[in-house]
A and B are shown apart, each in its own frame.
Chain A
């Protein structure tokens, strides 16, 4: 009998000790906010364009963490979808065309002599990339522009263009090496180089 009581007491004691430890840990090491939202937000392109139907990237990140589809971000494109699928361990799905298509990166440009200084675009810009004051010409700080498109609609004189980002030496990328078409041939079948030799002559 005593053994049974001892065992129960020991188990009870252990339960109390671990309960205290866990209770302390849950207070001491409490995680503020939802870390997965931060991780998702870090993967989103931060254009804040709202094409996903949410008012910015973070709200969409929150929606994804609550189970929304991961394919609603056209600016991020397929690579973002893949990264999200990787993070959340779900199937990567193609981009939902309903929310727009993946387009080349653009930057807003104000035709300055047509600008009337209404400040409407300034209010629309989610990243404060437009400079200007009332009745003064506005201009876009192109290095800060995310190409979200949100300034185009409010302009009363339609003087904002979305210009595709030009490829310059600074942002040029090496292309992927072309896939070989003769992958299935063995070297002896092919007459390496000679054929091309003749063609060239």
Chain B
């Protein structure tokens, strides 16, 4: 036996271990229902592999680990999955968490399983994976997944393996009984671990109050090839704490914020070693554990081998609990355990003890008294903290200071609270402070994360904006370049092709002229005043003149070339040209008349000008007429443009009317030129008739061609428009009818009748099309989504309006909102109805 060191502080509470060691470990009866929490350890919750109603066999994996720090879960017995959902779990909060509930079928039928043939021949990673698949987790404290600890050899030099068999907390005897009865399993487990970690030294730390267990272990270890030391340590709470035991056995202190592996030590609970043995040699996953059921309120305190998931009530029944004496149910030991309210809470992998205490055994905590600064807590603290300081900081919510005083090194052993003469629940304060700090840190992390995301988003938006801007600029540049290219191409083509932009040339000529004038003016001014650089100005005038002349020339040339432009005869332009020519002619005539009257001016020139104007006017008119006839034939041949034709007809009619009016006027006044007017009228009448006819022909043709077109893709909108146009026309016609009399009236009535008929037809067509569309949509179910969306939007509008109504107080606003609300409601209702009608389809 090697040297045993000591750790600071510690206490000696009454052990109360004898009660439960009198009888051997007994198998707990098979419970009807088993509740298996998906999270029994720190890290990620396991993810279920089974569905409700599935039959599972004993040992079948029902949940797989998620992430590295996670453990799988196996069915502890055969049965059916009854539900997967929230159920109270063993946790200080008393909250519910997701559990898989298995209804046992009583057959306890095993899944086919067998151990590994020879684990020493296996790759270490494969062996560890096997242990991981068996769901082995630390059975002492936090339930840390064992496979993670077994991987420690990869990145740490592990020279010492410590098996924690101290079991220092009062009442608990599960490990003690395990050692007494299953020492060979423990040894087998140690062998597996040492094969994986290859430590130079293995120590089993055990308290000196377990002489029976020490004796059994020693006898089993006799002749063992491994370098195993049983180190008996004095009974003192909390010698079973990982760091305390390491200090006891090696004299080394694990630095704050580090794990034992950092100083070359790995610690495993003794129960875990037995579980590893079973997993490796028998292929049995971790589905049961030994639980001490003790306390004064049970008749037979004992150790039960319970399936994971067994409700506490079943175990208490097995130990014959006195319901009337039961005052408090504690999960875990009296020092670190938690009181639970619910006896349906299940056993999990870390449940080592259930204490059913009477009121005398565990009376309610006496009221807290003020701290008298006696310093007893500091004397017993196994971590050499300053519990008193921590208490003040926690109470005063000075969490920063508490953290600086190493609050997070506190193992919450409860020694300080145990000795406190003022009965201050010190550990509660520390737990409170710790969880506050953790929450704060989590929030800070979340805030930082949110900031990062926000900033990233801002940056992205900015970048997108910039990119957009850049694209816009690029587009603008491109357009400018294209414009330039076009311009240069145009100037190039000017020489080659006479067709050019006369307007531009005109402007250029005008600009050149203006420049010339300005230059001239400047020169004149300069000459008058005798100041300035006259020769320069003269040169400028010269230059301006040249450029002006050039521009004019170019313009004239272009203008001269223009009529030569064949094919593209723009009737409109020609018309304008003819009109301009006529106006010019009139002006010239007027000027001539004025000149004659006054007897001044150059009559000859004026006459010549008049003649020229007349000629050009005639030419223009001729050109126009030619073009027009050509255009109209063209148009007629190409395909009648209904609209144009209609306009033409209307124009012809108007002209006719005007001509008639004029004729009447002339007749009334007895003016001359009546014949001429009459002739014009006849031509006009003819023309109007022609136009009308052309229009009607075209319309009928269009109608014929439109009908088949309608049949194919139904343009609902156009149809609707048509119908409404028809309706309007009808109304107008009706209104007009009232104002008419005699022959006209009959005519109009006829027309109206026709219109009505057409309207009816159009309406019919529209309705048919609509119906067809709805039918098609309903058949395909395409419209349903749209309907749904519309309905949802309408509903939302209603709620929003309602909210607005609730908020506004002004009567006027209210009435308007109310009116809106009513319409919105109607709409929503209607949509809902339609939706319901269509939904089953």
What residues make up the interface of A, taking CB atoms closer than 8 Å to B?
A: 41-42, 44-48, 56-57, 114, 116, 126-129, 144, 146, 155-159, 167-169, 171-177, 180-183, 187, 190, 192-193, 196-197, 200
Contact = CB atoms under 8 A, between A and B. Distances in A.
A177 B428 contact: yes
A114 to B, nearest CB: 6
Contacts of A180: 367-369
Given A126-B457, A127-B450, A172-B95, 18 more contacts: A42-B447, A46-B446, A46-B447, A46-B448, A127-B453, A127-B457, A157-B795, A159-B792, A168-B97, A169-B89, A169-B91, A172-B93, A173-B432, A174-B432, A183-B368, A183-B369, A192-B367, A193-B364
B792 A157 contact: yes
A48 B450 contact: yes
A159 B792 CA distance: 9
26 contacts: A45-B443, A46-B448, A46-B450, A46-B454, A116-B793, A126-B457, A127-B453, A127-B454, A144-B453, A157-B795, A158-B800, A167-B95, A171-B442, A172-B91, A172-B95, A173-B435, A173-B436, A174-B434, A176-B429, A177-B425, A177-B429, A180-B368, A180-B369, A182-B367, A193-B363, A196-B364
A156 B793 contact: yes
A190 B95 contact: no
A177 B443 CA distance: 23
A129 B359 CA distance: 53
Interface in B510-528: none
Interface string B90-133: 01110101000000000000000000000000000000000000
Nearest to A181: B367
B50 to A, nearest CB: 22
B432 A116 contact: no
Contacts of A192: 366-367
Contacts of A128: 453, 456-457
A56 B454 contact: yes
A37 to B, nearest CB: 13
A158 B454 contact: no
Nearest to A153: B800
Contact of A187 (B363, B369, B428, B799): B369
Contacts of A171: 439, 442
Instruction: Output the residue of A47, A57, A173 with the most chain B CB within 10 A.
Output: A173
A114 B97 CA distance: 29
B396 to A, nearest CB: 11
Contact of A169 (B39, B442, B799): B39
B701 interface: no
A44 B447 CA distance: 8
Contacts of A42: 447-448
**Closest 3 CB pairs between A and B?**
A180-B368, A158-B796, A46-B450
A157 B789 contact: yes
Nearest to A184: B370
Contacts of B429: 176-177
Given A48-B454, A56-B454, A193 B92 contact: no
A46 B451 contact: yes
A201 to B, nearest CB: 8
A169 B364 contact: no
A172 B91 CA distance: 10
Instruction: Output the residue of B431, B443, B450, B799 with the most chain A CB within 10 A.
Output: B450
B322 interface: no
B97 A157 contact: no
B451 A41 contact: yes
Contacts of A47: 450
Given A158-B800, A187-B369, A116 B97 contact: no
Contacts of B799: 158
Contacts of A127: 450, 453-454, 457
B408 interface: no
A174 B92 contact: yes
B400 to A, nearest CB: 10
Interface string B170-211: 000000000000000000000000000000000000000000
Nearest to A114: B792
Contacts of B434: 174
B392 interface: no
Contact of A175 (B89, B432, B789): B432
A182 B795 CA distance: 58
A26 B87 CA distance: 64
Contacts of A45: 443, 447, 450
Contacts of A56: 454
Instruction: Output the residue of A45, A180, A190, A197 with the most chain B CB within 10 A.
Output: A180
A166 B152 CA distance: 36
Contact of B95 (A168, A176, A196): A168
A128 B455 CA distance: 10
Nearest to A201: B359
A116 B792 contact: yes
Contact of B796 (A156, A176, A182, A200): A156
Contacts of B457: 126-128
Given A169-B89, A177-B368, A155 B447 contact: no
Interface string B777-792: 0000000000001001
A169 B95 contact: yes
Contacts of B793: 116, 156-157
Nearest to A123: B461
Contacts of B442: 171
Given A46-B448, A174-B435, A155 B454 contact: no
Given A167-B95, A173-B436, A57 B364 contact: no
A197 B366 CA distance: 11
Interface string B448-468: 111101101100000000000
Interface string B787-824: 00100110110011000000000000000000000000
A181 B793 CA distance: 56
Contact of A174 (B431, B443, B450): B431
A74 to B, nearest CB: 15
A126 B369 contact: no
Contact of A158 (B93, B446, B451, B795): B795
A52 to B, nearest CB: 15
Given A174-B435, A181-B367, A200 B447 contact: no
A114 B451 CA distance: 30
B346 to A, nearest CB: 14
A82 B796 CA distance: 40
A127 B446 CA distance: 11
